[in-house]
Chains A and B, each alone.
Chain A
Amino acid sequence: MNGTPWWRDRRVLPWLLQAVVGLAVLVLVALLMTNLVRNLSAAGLLLSWRWLGQPAGFDLSETLLPFNASMPYGRALLAGLLNTLRVIVIALLGSSLLGALVGMAAFSRNGLLRGLARVYVEVVRNVPLLLQLLFWYFLVFLALPDGRAALQLPGLVLAKSGLYLAGFAGGSWQGPQLLNGSWQAPLQLSVEFGALLTGLITYIGAFIAEVVRGGIASVPRGQWEAAGSLGLHGVATLRHIVLPQALRVIVPGLTNQYISLAKASSLALACGFTDLYSVAETTLNQTGRAVEVVLVLLAAYLAIDLLISAAMNGLNRLVQVRER
C-alpha cells in the first residue's frame, strides 16, 4: 500500500535514530563504568563513605562551624560549604549594589561619571577573574601595612593580618584595638576573605552593571518624558517609573550572574581562603577518595545553583505579575 521504504519512513526514522543514539550512549556509559569499577577495585578504592566519619587531622581557619583537627572529614566539608555560602551571600549583595549603582551611572547627565562607569565595565569584564583575584590578594591586600601603621578609619582597621570591624562585644559597642602589637576587634575577617570578596564583587558587579543598563535602556523613552512632564525629577523617575519596568528585564539576567558568581567562588583557593573546594582538595589528598570527593563537590554546587534559580524564579514571578 505504502511505497515508502522503511528507511525513509517518517514514522520509523525518528525512533530508529533515537534507538541508535540511546544505544551508543548506553554502551559508552557501560564501558566507562566497567572500567571505573575495575580500576577502582584494582586500587582498593571501591565507593565507600566510611571515610566521612574518620578524624580529619587537619585544621581549618575562619570557620562558622567550630572545627578542630580531631573532628571528622564530613564536618570539615560542611564547614567548607558554610564558608562558600558565606562568600556567595555577601558577594551577591555587594555585587548587586555595585552593579546597580554603575548601571544607573550609565544614564547620568554627568559625562565624566558616564565615562568612568563605561571604562570600569569594559576593563573589568575583559580581564580574567583569576588574574584579578591574584592581583587583589598579592598586590593589594598583602601590601597593606600592619600593626600601628595599619590603615585606620573610624570603626574599621585594614591591616595585612586582617580586616577589623567595630561591633557589639559583651554588651557594649567596641572598636578595633591594638593589643601587644596585634589588632583585636569584635568582627574580624582575614585578608584572604577580603581579597576574594573584593575580586568577586568588582568582577560580577561589572556584569550586573551591564544587565542593569540593558534593563533601563529597554524602558521606552516616552516613559521618561511622561514622568518629566508630570514634574518628577530624575531620581524619582528612575525609582518610581523606570526601575519597576526595567526589573522585568533585569531579573532574568541577574539569575545568570548570581549562578556564575556561585561557581566563581570556587576560585577561592587562589587566594588562600578555605572554601568547600579547598577543603575537598585537602580531603582528597589525605583519603585518596577522588570519586567520592568529586561527587560531593558536584552535588553541593548543583544544589546551590538550584537554590539560586528557585529563589530568582520566585522573584521573577513577583516582578512580572504587575502587568495588567
Chain B
Amino acid sequence: MLLAACGCANDSGGGVSSVRMAAIRSHGQLICGVDGQVSGFSSVAADGRYQGFDVDVCRAVAAALLGSGNKVDFRNVTATQRFPAVASGEIDLLSRNSTVTLGRDAPGGNAMSFAPVVFHDGAGVMVPLASGITSLAGLGGKPICLLSGATTEQALTDGLRRLNRRYVPLKFSTIDEMFGAYQQGRCAAVSIDRSALAAQRTTFAVPAAHLILPEVLSKEPLAPATIESDPAWADAVRWIVYALFEAEEQGITQANVAAKLAEAKANPKLAERRQSDQCRRQLRRDLSP
C-alpha cells in the first residue's frame, strides 16, 4: 500500500479551518463509507479486515491525517444510502466506486464534492456465451438485470435507445441479488461497470462461459467524494489523492519513503524540481478531460 508522504497533503490542514477535519482529528478515526461487497474495490477478508482499492484510498487519507492507515472506521453503505450519508455528515469520506456526474456534483442534485478520478471505468454488459448474443443490438426486447439507481442503468437505457431498441429492466437493490438472478437465467444479460463484471466473472464456476460485450456504454470516472460545504476538507482529500498518484509514479512506497526523503533532503535542488514537476503534472491532470 502506498502512503501519502508528500508535502502537498499537509498544506491544506494548517491554516484553513475545516469543521470536518477538526472532528476527525478529535475523534481519532476517519469514518469511511465503502461498498464492502465488490471484490477488488472493497470486500471483507476472512479475518474481518477490509481490503481493496477503495479501502486503500480510505487508509491513505487516514494515514495522511492521523498518522496511521488503521485509524479508519469502515461503514458499508448501499447505493441508495451513500450520498445522503455524506450530505448528512454521517461519513467523512465516501470511497465506494462512485461515478462522477454533473447531477451528483451540482448543488440541487446530490451536491457532492468529488476528489480526482482514481479509476476510469465504463458501463458494460455481460451475457452467457451460450445465448449467441455478441453485440448490444442483440439485446432488444430482452430482460436485463440491473442495479437499482446505478449510473449504468441510464447508460444502458441510452445505449439501447440509440439503437432504437427497448429492453425489460429487472432492478435489484444489491449486486449479490442481481448476479444471483442472472446466474439462475432470469435475464439475458447483466449490466454494471466493466470492472465489476470482470471481477464477478472470475468467481463464476465457469468464467469462460460468459462474455463481456465489446461495447463500452459510457465513461464511468470513479472518484472519492466529500461533503460540499467543507471545501478545505475536500482540498485535503484531493491533494492526498494527488500525492498517491505521485508516489506511484516515483515508486515511493512505505519501505523506501525514508530513503527517498533523505535523498531529497541531501539534494534540495532535486526536491524542489520534483515538487514543481509534480504540481505541473497535477495541474495538467486536473485540466485534462
Contacts from A to B (Cβ < 8 Å):
39, 42-45, 48, 57-61, 68-69, 138, 142-143, 146, 160-161, 190-192, 269-270, 272, 274, 278, 281-282, 284-288, 290
Q: Known: A39-B89, A142-B185, A269-B148. Is A274-B171 also a contact (CB below 8 A)?
A: yes
Provide the B147-168 mask, 1 if CB < 8 A to any CB of A, else 0.
0111001100110010000111
Question: Which chain A residue shows the least CB distance to B86?
Answer: A43
Does A61 lie within 8 Å of B108, measured CB to CB? no
| Stretch among B51-59, B176-184, B206-214 lining the A interface | B176-184
B121 near A: Cβ within 8 Å?
no
Q: Known: A69-B161, A143-B184, A288-B87. Is A61-B228 also a contact (CB below 8 A)?
A: no
Chain B neighbourhood of A192, CB < 8 A: 170
Does A288 lie within 8 Å of B83, measured CB to CB? yes
Does B80 lie within 8 Å of A69, measured CB to CB? no
Q: Choose from A42, A69, A286 the contact partner of B228 (Cβ within 8 Å).
A: A42
Does A58 lie within 8 Å of B153, measured CB to CB? yes
Does A43 lie within 8 Å of B111, measured CB to CB? yes
Question: Which chain B residue shows the least CB distance to A280?
Answer: B80
Does B84 lie within 8 Å of A142, measured CB to CB? no
Does A59 lie within 8 Å of B87, measured CB to CB? no
Question: Which chain A residue shows the least CB distance to B154?
Answer: A57
Chain B neighbourhood of A288, CB < 8 A: 83-84, 87, 103-104, 109-111
Task: Categorize the interface residue count of chain B.
Answer: 35 or more
Question: Which chain A residue shows the least CB distance to B149?
Answer: A285
Chain A neighbourhood of B108, CB < 8 A: 44-45, 48
Chain B neighbourhood of A58, CB < 8 A: 153-154, 157, 169
Q: How far is the CA of A305 from the CA of B218 in the complex (A)?
A: 42
Q: How far is the CA of A42 from the CA of B112 in the complex (A)?
A: 11
Q: How far is the CA of A138 from the CA of B181 in the complex (A)?
A: 7
Does A282 lie within 8 Å of B168, measured CB to CB? no
Does A269 lie within 8 Å of B173, measured CB to CB? yes
Chain A neighbourhood of B227, CB < 8 A: 42-43
Does A61 lie within 8 Å of B157, measured CB to CB? no
Chain B neighbourhood of A43, CB < 8 A: 87-88, 107, 111, 227-229
CB distance from A199 to the nearest CB of B (A): 15
Chain B neighbourhood of A191, CB < 8 A: 186
Q: How far is the CA of A191 from the CA of B110 in the complex (A)?
A: 34
Does A142 lie within 8 Å of B184, measured CB to CB? yes
CB distance from A56 to the nearest CB of B (A): 9
Q: Choose from B161, B167, B180 the contact partner of A138 (Cβ within 8 Å).
A: B180
B172 near A: Cβ within 8 Å?
yes
Question: Which chain B residue shows the least CB distance to A38?
Answer: B229
B247 near A: Cβ within 8 Å?
no
Q: How far is the CA of A282 from the CA of B167 in the complex (A)?
A: 18
Chain A neighbourhood of B157, CB < 8 A: 57-59, 69
Q: How far is the CA of A146 from the CA of B262 in the complex (A)?
A: 68
Chain B neighbourhood of A48, CB < 8 A: 108
Q: Known: A44-B228, A161-B143, A192-B170. Is A281-B111 also a contact (CB below 8 A)?
A: no
Chain A neighbourhood of B167, CB < 8 A: 59
B79 near A: Cβ within 8 Å?
yes
Chain A neighbourhood of B84, CB < 8 A: 284, 288, 290
Does B185 lie within 8 Å of A160, measured CB to CB? yes
Chain B neighbourhood of A143, CB < 8 A: 184
CB distance from B14 to the nearest CB of A (A): 23
18 A-B residue pairings within 8 Å (CB atoms): A39-B89, A43-B107, A43-B111, A43-B229, A44-B107, A57-B157, A58-B153, A59-B166, A160-B186, A191-B186, A269-B148, A272-B170, A274-B169, A281-B173, A285-B80, A287-B110, A288-B83, A288-B110
Does B169 lie within 8 Å of A286, measured CB to CB? no
Does B109 lie within 8 Å of A278, measured CB to CB? no
Q: How far is the CA of A281 from the CA of B170 in the complex (A)?
A: 14
Q: How far is the CA of A290 from the CA of B150 in the complex (A)?
A: 16
Q: How far is the CA of A142 from the CA of B177 in the complex (A)?
A: 12
CB distance from A45 to the nearest CB of B (A): 6
CB distance from B90 to the nearest CB of A (A): 11
Q: How far is the CA of A183 from the CA of B153 in the complex (A)?
A: 26
Does A45 lie within 8 Å of B87, measured CB to CB? yes
Other A-B pairs, 9, CB within 8 Å; known A282-B149, A285-B79: A42-B228, A43-B87, A43-B111, A61-B169, A69-B157, A161-B186, A270-B177, A278-B173, A288-B84
Q: For window 79-109 of chain B, which residues contact chain A by CB distance below 8 Å?
A: 79-80, 83-84, 87-89, 103-104, 107-109
Does B111 lie within 8 Å of A272, measured CB to CB? no
Q: How far is the CA of A146 from the CA of B107 in the complex (A)?
A: 48
Does B186 lie within 8 Å of A284, measured CB to CB? no
Chain A neighbourhood of B83, CB < 8 A: 285, 288
CB distance from B9 to the nearest CB of A (A): 25
Chain B neighbourhood of A287, CB < 8 A: 103, 109-110
Provide the B195-224 mask, 1 if CB < 8 A to any CB of A, else 0.
000000000000000000000000000000
Does B172 lie within 8 Å of A272, measured CB to CB? yes
CB distance from B171 to the nearest CB of A (A): 6
Q: How far is the CA of A285 from the CA of B151 in the complex (A)?
A: 9
Q: Choose from B104, B107, B181, B229 the contact partner of A142 (Cβ within 8 Å).
A: B181
Q: How far is the CA of A124 from the CA of B87 in the complex (A)?
A: 41
Q: Choose from A57, A272, A286 the contact partner of B181 (Cβ within 8 Å).
A: A272
Q: Choose from B88, B158, B170, B184 the contact partner of A61 (Cβ within 8 Å).
A: B170
Question: Which chain A residue shows the least CB distance to B111?
Answer: A44
Question: Which chain B residue shows the least CB distance to A39?
Answer: B88
Question: Which chain A residue shows the least CB distance to B103?
Answer: A286
Q: How far is the CA of A244 from the CA of B137 in the complex (A)?
A: 61
